[in-house]
Structure 1
């Protein structure tokens, strides 16, 4: 089973602040981590490799320091790592990002499964996985919480939705975007971390993946971020007074009805 896992190095959102003048994220001094949902995707891929054999390749797009995110996945048990890094990729939205990743996947080969996390915590769009599927003309399943069966030509998976889940048969090759319920990612062992630090990481440019300038980065983006800001939070409270619990309940119901909440 040949598997590619698309990951992203993201700023730790618990440390992120916004520049009030430039309306941009302040990244200086903010630690970077592997996008948590992508770690779950890596775990799902490695488990399949352990049970059915094959190879897991981790792939990311980003600056040179994104190699550290790839090495963490190698330490977990992935076999190969690829970084696509080029100034031509700068300013990419989800469409241009998914295009560039799709071109890299085509260069890697013809994987049976392409795993992604359901979304990145720095954007929360959940668009890159489906975008890769669209560019590669592959079937896709999102919000996968369990892989029930693995076959040579298809998977049987559980896909979560509000209030339950559905069981889907997915023809391979396919793109699978996973949720956290897929299984807790393992901690890299000391031996695995030492081994990963010595493993080579392939670094490809836009030219290496035959990605034309007009389709990558800002040039290939359909959208642009004009402003980032922290929404103003307004908290209003009102104390209800009544002599009995019944009076308080009636007052609360009237307030909710007046606000057209109930």
Structure 2
């Protein structure tokens, strides 16, 4: 397992390169940079591998390049300038150790095919996700009806075991379970769950919102559309008006003829439609 860090907002690029031969095995770009990270990586490799010089750190156009060497691999981590680089270096060391352990046999019988290693992105993103989410948020798969939906972007890391884990999580996303509940249901590790949730967000596969319970306070944002009134009846107008931020849904249910189960379903639909929002109470 790789050590994890909460400092991923400063991470720009992570790459693992084979020492013998200098082949890039995997590289993950997190955020835009004013320099080409692949060119930076090429420079580092030229110095370390071909000139056989020691290089653990250098600065390029305001970015810090942290370098660690393993037995078979060289790891590069490009970050913003920070006060303490040690936590980043320790995570990079852990990533290299894990990679060399998991793929020891493949590295010993190297055949030049880097595709099988793409699944290791899950381990890297478990340590440094694209973005970190609260465990109590509820993921919802993006739909064609969503205004911002532009189609499911291909996930380059969805191969081998990583693909199986990603598809398992997707199958459990129903707009009701929290991230924590999905992790518990699937039996996946925290590291895998952090990575997969980050991937689903980064590639536009899912959006995330708060879970609605009997203790949730909602407030009116707009009048319900005629379509919603047609689906749920005129009483939906009273429901919306009762959501004034001073009563939770349990209080509202006591004033209406809806059961709590039905009320929660209606409330979720109204939040998704932008009719209701979350109160601060």
**What range is the shorter-chain TM-score in?**
under 0.3
Structure with the largest fraction of helix: 2
TM-score, structure 1 normalization: 0.23
TM-score, structure 2 normalization: 0.22
Q: Per chain length, whose mean CA-contact separation is higher, i.e. which structure has more relative contact order (CA < 8 Å, sep 6+)?
A: 1
Bigger radius of gyration among the two: 2
